Amino acid sequence: MIAAENAHSVNVFACFDNEEVGSGTKQGACSTFLRDVLTRINDGLGFSGEDYCRAVAKSFMVSCDNAHAVHPNHPEKTDETNCTYLNKGIVIKYAANQKYTTDGISAAVFKAVCERAGVPYQVFANRSDMAGGSTLGNLSSQKVSLHTVDIGIPQLAMHSSYETAGVMDTLYMIQALTKFYEMDIVADGDGVRM
């Protein structure tokens, strides 16, 4: 975000705490912290409550976490037609139960961001017969409802003491997020403009 230059948008970077214990703390993604900060920014700029609601409705959030790559020791844990790999690009994550908030619109927007940044992307969905995780996107959306895409860097052994990720994917993420923060992305009644 610091490396990006954007004179058209108010960029916000939200970093939450306590994900591993459910995000229900005062500083977690399920708290009012993000809503409170955005309201204060809105008020500080002299805008009304209606202006705030319109700004949120036109906004776009990237929920950035990690993603499950195919583990060579446990390939059975991944759907064989829906695989992601290390150093092959950022993962756009889907879940039918909305544990990941990606939908058709948000996926299209983030794919365009990746294409403009010149970085590859992959697509992931949890196996339908196995319980999957969640991200902060669907939790924070309970307090601030806006267009959101869930993305991540593919990794092996998520939540283990030795998580493994690819160096190239880290570079891809930096490039894509820099491009995201430089863009003027506006959701309106006709879709999303960039």
110 burial level (CB within 10 Å; 0-12, 13-18, 19+): buried
pLDDT tens digits, one per residue of 121-140? 999 887 777 766 667 666 77
Helix (H) or strand (E) holding 64: strand 60-68
> Average of pLDDT values for 65-84?
84
The answer, yes or no, to whether residue 5 has pLDDT greater than 60, is yes
The fourth-level CATH superfamily of domain 61-185 is: Zn peptidases (3.40.630.10)
Q: For position 152, what pLDDT does the model report? A: 94
Q: Which is more confident, 191 or 36?
A: 36
3-class DSSP state for residue 113? helix
Q: For position 132, what pLDDT does the model report? A: 67
pLDDT tens digits, one per residue of 30-42? 788 889 999 999 9
The answer, yes or no, to whether residue 168 has pLDDT greater than 70, is yes
Only one residue has tokens 């009012």, namely 32
Q: For position 115, what pLDDT does the model report? A: 97
**CB-based contacts of 108: which residues, under 8 Å, 6+ apart?**
192
Q: Evaluate whether 124 touches 93 at the Cβ level (below 8 Å).
A: yes
Q: Evaluate whether 24 touches 31 at the Cβ level (below 8 Å).
A: yes
> Average of pLDDT values for 142-164?
84
Tell me the angle at which helices 167-182 and 104-117 cross, rounded to the nearest 10 degrees: 100
Q: Evaluate whether 97 touches 125 at the Cβ level (below 8 Å).
A: no
Token code pair at residue 26? 């005062």
Only one residue has tokens 């959030």, namely 61
Average pLDDT along the chain: 85
> Average of pLDDT values for 66-90?
87
